[in-house]
Amino acid sequence: MGALRVWRWISETWRPGFGAGVRRRDAGFGTEARRRPQPQASSKSKDPVEDQPFPGLLRTENLGVEELVDVLKAAVVDQKGRPGELTLLSVLPQLSQALGLGHQELQIVRAPGKEASGLVLLSGCPQTASRLQKFFAHSRRSQRPTATYCAITDGIPEPSEGTVSVALRLERVDGIDLAVPVASPSRKDILEGVKRTFSHFHVMATGCGCALVQLQPLTVFPSQLQVHMALQLCPVLGDHTYAARVGTVLGQRFLWPATTTKPQTQVLDEALLKRLRLSPSQVAQMPLHLHLQRLLLPGTRSRDPPSELLAPVPSYFSRTLQCLRLSQK
């Protein structure tokens, strides 16, 4: 299939130690998260989650070039075919040297959004990249999802399963491009960049007023899944961009107008903060709990069934599952 590399992306950074976690079956994120061994409590605290509210979160601004290269090198989870030059962000020359690669340029074929975690698919073979893109495009036209995300939402979607369908456009607000819903788009709107978006959702588990949700986008649009969950009045935890569109009056949720609502730190009620063992000031550092968990790839031959890549959730995601006592139905 040519030079193909898959990485695990964790909230604007790369996480090592993922290779052993790749599996060809259901990841079982709700159950396995609770079974993972927990770090020993220190003498100062009997509860490790209080000392590390977002374990495993690694910010690139805290790394030097050499450290980032080491993390990137360790984050390769799958490789097929001959290697090519790994062209990624600003550490490309150093990363190529560290991996011992040639000079063939890689390109990103599939990746989660900037703030989401999960699988990143790269290819150094133009023919392979083209074949993969054709596979993904054909799957979208056939309404067959190839990407499966998991998310933890503030609130429980009702009904527990369905499809979100909404037209979206990008609007620049204070230097930020935001996805804004468009009601009854005209043909002119479509020509000017408005896109009809679709996503399947399925509630996998509930607990403490939150939900573990499986999401399968059928279209590609920036921040599509975050906007879709906000429209369900259940924003994704750690969504400091679109959660502000959901307001509450006397315990009832409603949508603020998207065109007049600016991004701000997500507001969580006192009971949820207590359950998550977070202070109000820590919420601003909460990462987006949206994870690209599974990708389908075409088989080696046209008659072969698609293959599957799985990524376990990050440590902070597992911690949140534990705090909320989320368990699969």
Calpha distance 225→306 (Å, rounded): 24
- Both 264 and 157 in one domain: the answer is yes
- Whether residue 65 is contained in a domain is answered as yes
Calpha distance 20→249 (Å, rounded): 47
Count how many domains the chain has. 2
Q: Which residues neighbour 97 within 8 Å (Cβ) at sequence distance 6 or greater?
A: none
- Count the neighbouring beta carbons within 10 Å of the beta carbon of residue 117: 30
pTM: predicted TM-score of the whole model, two decimal places:
0.78
CA distances to 4, 292, 314 from 299, rounded to whole Å, are 14, 20, 28
How far separated are the first and last CA of the chain, in Å rounded?
Answer: 38
Contact in structure between 245 and 266 (CB atoms under 8 Å)? no
Joined together, the tokens standing for residue 205 give: 């588990």
Closest CA to 110 of 278, 309, 316: 309
Q: Which residues neighbour 111 within 8 Å (Cβ) at sequence distance 6 or greater?
A: 9, 119, 120, 121, 292
- Both 184 and 123 in one domain: the answer is no
pLDDT of 214: 98
Cis before 39? omega within 30: no
pLDDT of 31: 31
Q: Is 200 exposed, middle or buried (0-12, 13-18, 19+ CB in 10 A)?
A: middle
Task: Out of 126, 148, 170, pick the residue that ends a domain.
Answer: 148
| Domain of 162, in residue numbers | 149-285
- Both 165 and 79 in one domain: the answer is no
Joined together, the tokens standing for residue 44 give: 């100062």
- Both 87 and 163 in one domain: the answer is no
* Amino acid at position 307, single letter: S
Task: Out of 107, 126, 148, pick the residue that ends a domain.
Answer: 148
- Whether residue 207 is contained in a domain is answered as yes
Count of all residues that appear for the chain in the document: 329
pLDDT of 52: 78
CA distances to 168, 176, 208, 244, 297 from 183, rounded to whole Å, are 9, 22, 33, 20, 34
Q: What is the pLDDT along the chain (329 residues), one digit of tens a residue?
A: 445 555 555 444 333 323 333 333 333 333 333 333 333 444 444 454 556 788 877 766 677 777 766 776 666 655 554 444 333 445 545 555 555 556 656 677 888 988 999 998 877 677 888 999 999 999 999 999 999 999 999 999 999 999 999 999 999 988 899 999 999 999 999 989 999 999 999 999 999 999 999 999 999 999 999 999 999 999 999 999 999 999 999 989 999 999 889 999 999 999 999 999 999 999 999 999 999 999 999 988 878 899 999 999 999 999 999 999 997 55
- Whether residue 105 is contained in a domain is answered as yes
- Both 27 and 70 in one domain: the answer is yes
Percentages (nearest 5) of helix, strand, coil residues in the chain: 30, 30, 40
- Whether residue 308 is contained in a domain is answered as no
Closest CA to 180 of 287, 249, 92, 261: 261
pLDDT of 123: 74
**Residue with structure tokens 């490790």?**
48
DSSP string of 124-164? S-HHHHHHHHHHHHHHHHTT---EEEEEEEES--SSSEEEE
- Both 129 and 35 in one domain: the answer is yes
CA distances to 129, 142, 259, 286, 325 from 268, rounded to whole Å, are 42, 39, 22, 11, 17
